[in-house]
Structure 1
Amino acid sequence: MKIKLFIKHIDEKKLDHFPNCKEAVEEAGINFHWKIDKMKDILIQLQSQFSDRFGDFEKVSSKLKVFANPFSCDIEEVPSNLQMNMIDLQSNDVLKSTFYELKDLVKFYGSLPSDFDELKKFAQQFITIFGSTYLCEQTFSIVNYRKNKCSSRLTDEHLRAILRIATTNMTANIQEIASQIQPQTSH
């Protein structure tokens, strides 16, 4: 959404969201020549990269909203196999208070009675993506840290490798690995 707004503002030569550019234009005065196409191309590329990286999240975002807060979702937007479970859940004050007291989705869905088996299966799809909420938080922290540190050089392959290393419980024997490296000889 923000990038679309930025592109629109660049087309309109508005720099409200680009304070450094705005200051440079004001200093340059009327003689400033806009490089709209270049700025717009950069923003379009950025938008494309975001779509590539987060496209999967958009596909499941409506389901993720249901998972994150089953009491605030619209029944019409819930998959049909869950609608009856959701109506029963949303009209149950005891379960609603349990949800807000626990503040832990894994524990909440685990505490649901067997009447809510469809909803529990649905929740398991999201819970098992990361195995635990701790691992989920750890993974997102790692992704955010790496993206900030190496933003333009981070490819999908790098991201997969970083996540794999960061979320494994194996420890590397650095001394053994280093001893197996053959030094380069000069010719």
Structure 2
Amino acid sequence: MDCLRAFLAKLQNWQRKVNAGNVAMFNNHSTVLDENEDHLLDPSLKTEITQHLKSLESKLKKYFPEFEEEDGKLVGNPFSGTLDIAIIPNDVQDEFLDLKNDSAAKDLYEERSLTVFWCSMYQSYPKVSEIVLRVLLPFSTTYLCESGFSTLLHIKSKSRNRLDVDPDMRCALSVTQPRISRLTERKQCQPSH
């Protein structure tokens, strides 16, 4: 969330700079303007860039809604004294209090990274860990999309550009392992004449 907030602040700063006629943050466009004799940004282009930056900002806010600061405290440091127990769902509060008073878990928290700590706590404290892991792992579904594009690029090349990739992609992206030996057992060899 810190990186996202920083990027949103940069977008707002860029909008302010573009409205003032400064496009130094866009290297290629700045170079073109420097080569131009009048060094002025076209008003219609200024409007278009500003609208694009506003659109990008609204899309980011839509896809990554701001979570409460208290949720961040639970994820960042469950052993903090300033963490309010009331923000945690009622059915998880007892488990959270067990975790908060577990000295072995606190030692593990200090030794390991945040994600490794919460993954290791999943067996002992599943309800609390599930809440935290949902915050820590919001992009798990993008892996499937990325692997799909990667597979498509591998299958469909310049020499195979007219290929219907749907069946091949389905096989390549399937998590089911083919049982080749079982399939071959069911087939009968061609008898000789």
TM-score using structure 1 length: 0.52
User: 2: distance between equivalents of 1:94 and 1:140?
Assistant: 34
Contact 1:66 1:73 in 2 (8 A): no
**Total equivalences in the alignment:** 141
User: 2: distance between equivalents of 1:84 and 1:44?
Assistant: 44
Q: Output the amino acid matched with 2:104.
A: V
Look up the match of 2:53: 43
Look up the match of 2:38: 30
Q: Output the amino acid matched with 1:28.
A: N
Alpha-carbon offset, residue 41 of structure 1? 0.7
User: 2: distance between equivalents of 1:8 and 1:170?
Assistant: 52
Which residues of 2 match residues 3-18 of structure 1 at below 5 A?
3-18=11-26
Which residues of 2 match residues 100-139 of structure 1 at below 5 A?
100-101=111-112, 103-112=116-125, 120-127=126-133, 139=141
1:34-71 Cα offsets, whole Å, 9 max, x none, are 3211110111111122222223xx24675255235424
User: 1: distance between equivalents of 2:103 and 2:144?
Assistant: 38
Q: Output the amino acid matched with 2:129.
A: A
User: 2: distance between equivalents of 1:89 and 1:47?
Assistant: 38
Which residues of 2 match residues 1-187 of structure 1 at below 5 A?
1=8, 2-34=10-42, 35-55=45-65, 58-59=66-67, 62-63=70-71, 66-71=74-79, 74-76=82-84, 79=87, 93-99=103-109, 100-101=111-112, 103-112=116-125, 120-127=126-133, 139-142=141-144, 169-170=175-176
TM-score using structure 2 length: 0.50
1:93-140 Cα offsets, whole Å, 9 max, x none, are 43211223483412224335xxxxxxx53332354x59xx7xx77534
User: 2: distance between equivalents of 1:15 and 1:73?
Assistant: 46
Structure 2 unaligned residues grouped into runs of 5+: 1-7, 150-169, 179-193
Compare CA radii of gyration and give the structure with the larger one: 2
Look up the match of 2:152: none
Q: Which has the higher helix share?
A: 1
Q: Output the amino acid matched with 1:79.
A: I
Contact 2:73 2:83 in 1 (8 A): no
Identity among equivalent positions (%) equals 17
Q: Output the amino acid matched with 1:66.
A: L
